[in-house]
Amino acid sequence: MTRIYIDEAGTNSPEWLAIGVLVVPDHKALHNSLVEVKRAQGYFNTSPTKKNVLGETHLAGFRRKSDLAVAEEWIKQFMAHGCYYRCIVVDWGIWDGRHFGDPFDPDALKKRRAYKKWLEMLLDSLIPVRRLKPGCSPVPSAL
């Protein structure tokens, strides 16, 4: 079963926002491969306050070369399992909210509307488009 993972970065940043969508065609097989990468690299949790055996992987927490090695192997696994990624990055420096509300709507509301629209656009890009033969109408004719 295909799974879609959505995450964003920079939501509190005054500079930019990134919305990413990762499509995973076979979650179980990918998960097993990612766990095997951590085990093979010896990427174990050494913190006495955490109960999980394998280390967490968060880009913001990367400090060692082993973090980078695991990330590189994970990217290879994503590609080997037919996963793909779509992303929209917004530069707030060129943001123009007039397309997402009335002139008196608060900027925060306009940004929420824009986020929703951008996410819809990302999800729409994941739906395969059926090619129509020349002369065919995408709308069924009325009977």
In a domain, 140, yes or no: no
- For residue 33, the model assigns a pLDDT of 93
87: which strand partners?
A: 20
In a domain, 139, yes or no: no
In a domain, 30, yes or no: yes
Domain with 13, as residue range(s), is 3-126
In a domain, 133, yes or no: no
- Is the model's pLDDT at 55 over the cut of 80? no
- For residue 100, the model assigns a pLDDT of 93
In a domain, 136, yes or no: no
Closest CA to 75 of 52, 55, 59: 59
Residue type, 1: M
CB 81 within 8 A of CB 30: yes
Count: domains in the chain: 1
In a domain, 138, yes or no: no
Please tell me the total number of residues recorded for the chain in this structure. Answer: 143
Q: How confident is the model at residue 106 (pLDDT cuts 50, 70, 90)?
A: very high
- Is the model's pLDDT at 32 over the cut of 80? yes
Q: Which residue has the tokens 């085990």?
A: 39
- Is the model's pLDDT at 52 over the cut of 90? no
d(CA 2, CA 35): 19
In a domain, 33, yes or no: yes
- For residue 114, the model assigns a pLDDT of 92
Single pTM value for the model: 0.71
In a domain, 7, yes or no: yes
